[in-house]
A and B are shown apart, each in its own frame.
Chain A
Amino acid sequence: MTQTGQETISVVLTGSGGAGVMTAGQTLLDAAASLGLYGLMTRSTGPQIRGGEAAALLRFGRRPVLSHGDRFDLLVALDFENISRFGAEIPLGASSVVIADPAAGDPPEFVVASGARIVHVELAKLAKTIPGGRISMVALGALAQMIGLPESAIVGAVAASVGKKKPDAIVTSEKAVALGAAAAATLTPGARIAAPDRLDSERWSITGNEATGYGAIKGGIRFVAGYPITPATEILEWMAPTLRQCGGVLVQAEDELASINMIIGSSFGGAPSLTATAGPGLSLMIESLGLAVASETPLVVVDVMRSGPSTGIATKSEQSDLNIAVNGLHGDAPHVVVAPTDVSDCLLTAQWATHLAESLQTPVIMLSDQSIGQARAIIDRPEDVAFTATRDIWTGGESPYLRYGLTDSGVSAMAIPGTPGGQHTADGLTHNERGTPSSQAHDHVAQLDKRQRKLENFDYSDHWAEIDGDGEIAVVTWGSSTAPIREAIAAARDRGAKIKLIALRLIAPAQPQKLAAALAGVKRVLVIEQSHSGQFWRYLRAHYDLPGEVTPIFRSGPLPFRPGEIGGYLAHGGL
């Protein structure tokens, strides 16, 4: 690698089912990581359940990369079958290079229209010259050569994944990679990646869903119930074995009505509890979330958002569950909604969500999304943060025990079954301090006040938002929109613009004073989000007084925001 290459480079591998595109993408990510590069990989697949066309979209950089770039520098097409369906997700430009097998036929229209330089490498033919040789490995060799990654890194990543048990496979891969690299060496070079700085920090390879699972266990979660749903299932699958190592268990429920009620039960029993789902499942859970609010049962619901409404696009992202997460419950039902800003932040946010649920004895909804949850990133080891589950547990004392006692903080000590003298019935019916059902106005008001008070009085510390930079212009955003915005702001700052970034991690309860302080001196606010109806902007309007001129920028999924698109909004705003 040379010092003079690009700061980041974006590559995409496409092919039809069985071509090994995803495995190759993973190998490439591992190889880049071994060289000290940061990286991000997302996947796109067609509607087929198994097989079908697939794309592995990767971006590498000398600095942390948490979103995709504006266009792909290199597309390697193992074949062109049906890849047009990914056209909108694979922006190419005149400086892009497309490596294709001449046997794959004519490139699709979106490739031609982009003006990208199309070069031919006989991937399939070369692979056939080696017994057991795989096209995807030849392609990786060509790709590595084109962007300036050493072949040895690819071979090393293959060796690390297949392990020592299959020395033959490693040798075969090595040959295939070498053939691809040699073929690409004769081509006019394209964009190359600059050599990374010395690797001196601990790096992790992790997906947003894994980071969520780990954050939750770190935060103290010991019981999980869930029902499979894209794109949240990996949280459940990752937690099933890991929880059992750490004193917990996971139960697969018969539906989401059951999962939410199972975790209400387990939490009542004293175990910090979580479920993970997506929009359709969250919709089913709503009635019981109200029960958790009224009965003051701590729990965490992770919603990995996908494009809605209804079944929508199960495999693609959107930030459109904000309304239901904040306002879906009937009655006045204050609860907490938090959101991670990127893959790495899922760890902290899930850990914090658990801490908030336990401390406040209330449900916490964590709004992750598909673009974060199913992305794999090479990140610096996240900082250790100390908060863990801290439930105020009643161990004895006053008689009769007042489960819903009207304390100043609004939080009342919870007696866990098994504790003598703490018997009470947790109830969704309006109740008095003891928990006894009541239809009296004063009990109703007192308990509504209490539940609101505990959320209002709590110190959410600096974790409520990520705030970065200064200036008279501020971008207010949340969730997965944050990473491309960060990048666009960095580019604008390089050109001399002064822009402040405020990404809310705590969506509800709203923090008007904190945001007002963060926006002091700001004259223009851009609100950016990925929803068709401007859910976040409308939410801000309801709860905050935003200073100066406010420009809402919102659009639906499934296409992600790209830094250039955001840069356009910033420039359009006169920056």
Chain B
Amino acid sequence: MNIQNNERAFKPAEYKSAVKPVWCPGCGDHSVLLSIQRALAELALPPEEVAVVSGIGCSSRIPAYTNCYGFHGVHGRSLALATGLKVARPDLTVLVASGDGDGFSIGGNHFLHACRRNVDLTYIVMDNRIYGMTKGQPSPTTEPDWDTAIAPGGTGLSPFHPLVIALASGANYIARAFSGDISGCAKLIVDAIRSPGFSFVQILSPCVTFRPDQQKGWKDFIRPAMVPETDDHGRAARRLMTDDGFNIGVLFRGARPPYQPQPLDHRDPSHLEAEFVL
């Protein structure tokens, strides 16, 4: 993304709307909202030049809480909507917000193709390993033994690894953050926005209501990634495959040029008639 140096400085509060979040007190998503505000202020992006696109879920409520342009679409399709917006309007900074259900389950196919297509988007997935909005069903990242009403005793299915999938699908930037560390989270979002092409940031964002274990547990596990960031797919693959899900930081940074189809010309459509005229 091309970031110009804008004339004036912006405060994080200027990116917040008057709409009061519906989130539970203590939900990690409050901190993600704050991190996004800080990141946009750091980049001094005028709010009207930023669009935040989302699907459905607690996490996907975020656009209306920002003072940017927003689109709160249907469940699972935010990446497609954001792709159309960014291709049509390359001048905008487009953030996409999602949850582990929205992004990896119902929207899984779009995730693969967004990584592969490499449009210049920043994809923030608030992963709480649960469907929060529908009140506690397992998601593709939920542990196999997590007991829920719909899957008593656990699903018995091993969770999948979104970062590995992103790497295999061609994502240009892969990072993990923790909502409990707002300034660390904001720094990663700044970096992701600056990084050209498709940037994927998984933010571990606890659901205090349906995953009360996360609030305390995650703080103990979270650690900065021990090895420096890499642009090597092989090394990144090995690291991500053996990763326990709690290493924070930039885990892969590629150099693939973004996909941005451009018009070739701006001719009047009437010239196309020549093809039909006998």
* In the complex, B8 has a CB within 8 A of chain A: no
* In the complex, B83 has a CB within 8 A of chain A: yes
Tell me, in angstroms, the Cα distance from A421 to B14 when the chains sit together: 12
Interface 1/0 per residue, B261-278 and A, CB below 8 Å: 111111111111101111
* In the complex, B239 has a CB within 8 A of chain A: no
B89 touches A247 (CB 8 A): no
* In the complex, B109 has a CB within 8 A of chain A: yes
Nearest chain A residue, comparing its CB with the CB of B83: A262
* In the complex, B160 has a CB within 8 A of chain A: no
Q: A204-B278, A245-B271, A258-B113 are in contact. Are A427 and B72 (CB under 8 A)?
A: yes
* In the complex, A251 has a CB within 8 A of chain B: yes
B69 touches A429 (CB 8 A): no
* In the complex, A450 has a CB within 8 A of chain B: no
A425 touches B64 (CB 8 A): yes
* In the complex, A206 has a CB within 8 A of chain B: yes
* In the complex, A473 has a CB within 8 A of chain B: no
* In the complex, A291 has a CB within 8 A of chain B: yes
Q: A217-B269, A246-B268, A417-B92 are in contact. Are A205 and B278 (CB under 8 A)?
A: yes
Tell me, in angstroms, the Cα distance from A427 to B63 when the chains sit together: 10
Tell me, in angstroms, the Cα distance from A422 to B48 when the chains sit together: 7
Which residues between 370 and 422 of chain A lie within 8 Å of chain B, taking CB atoms?
A: 378, 381, 415, 417-422
Give the residues in chain A near B110, CB-CB below 8 Å: 254, 257-258
- Minimum Cβ distance to chain B for residue A252 (Å): 10
Tell me, in angstroms, the Cα distance from A214 to B271 when the chains sit together: 11
* In the complex, B181 has a CB within 8 A of chain A: no
Which residues between 82 and 96 of chain B lie within 8 Å of chain A, taking CB atoms?
A: 82-89, 91-92
* In the complex, A359 has a CB within 8 A of chain B: no
Tell me, in angstroms, the Cα distance from A92 to B263 when the chains sit together: 50
Nearest chain A residue, comparing its CB with the CB of B69: A417
- Minimum Cβ distance to chain B for residue A103 (Å): 36
Tell me, in angstroms, the Cα distance from A278 to B54 when the chains sit together: 27
Chain A interface SS verdict (over half): mixed
B74 touches A428 (CB 8 A): yes
Give the residues in chain B near A248, CB-CB below 8 Å: 263
A268 touches B271 (CB 8 A): no
Nearest chain B residue, comparing its CB with the CB of A220: B269
A273 touches B84 (CB 8 A): yes
* In the complex, B70 has a CB within 8 A of chain A: yes
Give the residues in chain B near A247, CB-CB below 8 Å: 263, 265-267
Give the residues in chain B near A381, CB-CB below 8 Å: 273, 277
The one of A253, A266, A290 that contacts B85, using a Cβ cutoff of 8 Å: A266
The one of A223, A290, A378 that contacts B84, using a Cβ cutoff of 8 Å: A223
* In the complex, A242 has a CB within 8 A of chain B: yes
Interface 1/0 per residue, B73-117 and A, CB below 8 Å: 110111011111111110110000000000000000110110000
Tell me, in angstroms, the Cα distance from A26 to B52 when the chains sit together: 50
- Minimum Cβ distance to chain B for residue A347 (Å): 10
B263 touches A417 (CB 8 A): no
* In the complex, B130 has a CB within 8 A of chain A: no
Nearest chain A residue, comparing its CB with the CB of B88: A266
Give the residues in chain A near B82, CB-CB below 8 Å: 265
Which residues between 194 and 247 of chain A lie within 8 Å of chain B, taking CB atoms?
A: 202-206, 210, 214, 217-218, 222-223, 225, 242-247
- Minimum Cβ distance to chain B for residue A47 (Å): 28
Tell me, in angstroms, the Cα distance from A242 to B76 when the chains sit together: 32
* In the complex, B51 has a CB within 8 A of chain A: yes
* In the complex, B150 has a CB within 8 A of chain A: no
B77 touches A258 (CB 8 A): yes
Give the residues in chain B near A204, CB-CB below 8 Å: 273, 276-278
The one of A33, A267, A426 that contacts B70, using a Cβ cutoff of 8 Å: A426
A291 touches B87 (CB 8 A): no
Nearest chain A residue, comparing its CB with the CB of B278: A203
* In the complex, A283 has a CB within 8 A of chain B: no
* In the complex, A423 has a CB within 8 A of chain B: yes
- Minimum Cβ distance to chain A for residue B267 (Å): 5
Give the residues in chain A near B266, CB-CB below 8 Å: 246-247
Nearest chain B residue, comparing its CB with the CB of A422: B48
Give the residues in chain B near A291, CB-CB below 8 Å: 73-74
Tell me, in angstroms, the Cα distance from A204 to B264 when the chains sit together: 26
- Minimum Cβ distance to chain B for residue A1 (Å): 18
In the complex, besides A244-B265, A265-B81, 15 extra interface pairs with C-beta distance below 8 angstroms are: A214-B273, A244-B262, A258-B109, A260-B80, A264-B71, A265-B84, A265-B88, A266-B84, A267-B84, A268-B51, A268-B81, A417-B48, A417-B51, A426-B72, A435-B64
| Chain A interface residues (CB < 8 Å from chain B) | 33-34, 202-206, 210, 214, 217-218, 222-223, 225, 242-251, 253-255, 257-271, 273, 287-288, 290-291, 295, 378, 381, 415, 417-429, 435-437
**Could you give 7 example pairs across A and B, Cβ below 8 Å?**
A202-B278, A217-B269, A245-B265, A246-B272, A264-B84, A295-B73, A420-B48
| Chain B interface residues (CB < 8 Å from chain A) | 17, 19, 46-49, 51-53, 63-64, 67-74, 76-78, 80-89, 91-92, 109-110, 112-113, 261-273, 275-278
For the complex of A and B, list the 10 residue pairs with the smallest distance between their C-beta atoms, beginning with the closest.
A265-B84, A425-B70, A262-B84, A265-B85, A261-B80, A266-B88, A266-B84, A258-B80, A269-B89, A265-B81
